[in-house]
Amino acid sequence: MEEYKIPTNTRIGHVHLKVSDLQKSIDFYCGLLGFELMMMYGNQAAFISAGGYHHHIGLNTWHSKGQPPAPPTAPGLYHTAILYPERKDLAVALQRLIDAKYPITGASDHGVSEAIYLDDPDGNGVELYWDRPKEEWPKDEEGELTMFTRHLDLHALLASAK
């Protein structure tokens, strides 16, 4: 049997998160991160997007209303990664988090990207990042990708917002 490879232009279309308090999640994703509310499904679900797409993130309380976050060591989603188009857009998002005094759990330079890490109100991991142009990605002598995790200079990142 021939090895199957998923088509090159395949994308992950959306993520759907179980949340304990729908309004808190809307306040976080829409109010703080800037997504737009596209549709409510009664008082149990919301569909939010960037740029008018039907939804990039679904939020629901169908099985999770009022429940505590999953334990950090339980299997499940590690984080939802939100890709910003430009470095300055990531810098603006970081400044909004700082201004709101929202806790950041990490910040890394991965060579291919720069990332800010935080948790949503239910403890779901969120990565905010931008990708460097592909021709700038780090490679070894054989041309193989060599990602890494290094300290992200937040001051330099913030300076790019200006």
CATH number of domain containing 141: 3.10.180.10
Residue 6, domain member (yes or no):
no
Q: Please enumerate in sequence order all residues whose Cβ is within 8 A of that of 135, keeping only pairs 6 or more positions apart, or say none.
A: none
Question: Is the CA virtual torsion 72, 157, 17, 64 positive or negative?
Answer: positive
Which residues in the chain come in under a pLDDT of 50? none
Residue 63, domain member (yes or no):
yes
Look at residues 63, 116, 109 and name the one whose alpha carbon lies nearest to residue 89: 116
Collect contacts of 140-146 with beta carbons under 8 A, ≥24 apart: 145/112, 146/111
Residue 2 C-beta-side C-alpha neighbours within 13 Å: 3
pLDDT at 153: 97
Q: Are residues 54 and 117 in the same domain?
A: no
pLDDT at 47: 98
Q: Are residues 137 and 158 in the same domain?
A: yes
The total number of structural domains in the chain stands at: 2
Hey, what are 22's tokens? Answer: 């729908």
pLDDT at 162: 79
Q: Are residues 62 and 96 in the same domain?
A: no
pLDDT at 12: 87
pLDDT at 67: 96
pLDDT at 1: 83
> Containing domain of residue 18, as a range?
13-67
Q: Are residues 45 and 99 in the same domain?
A: no
Task: Identify whether the C-beta of residue 37 lies closer than 8 Å to the C-beta of residue 48.
Answer: yes
pLDDT at 161: 86
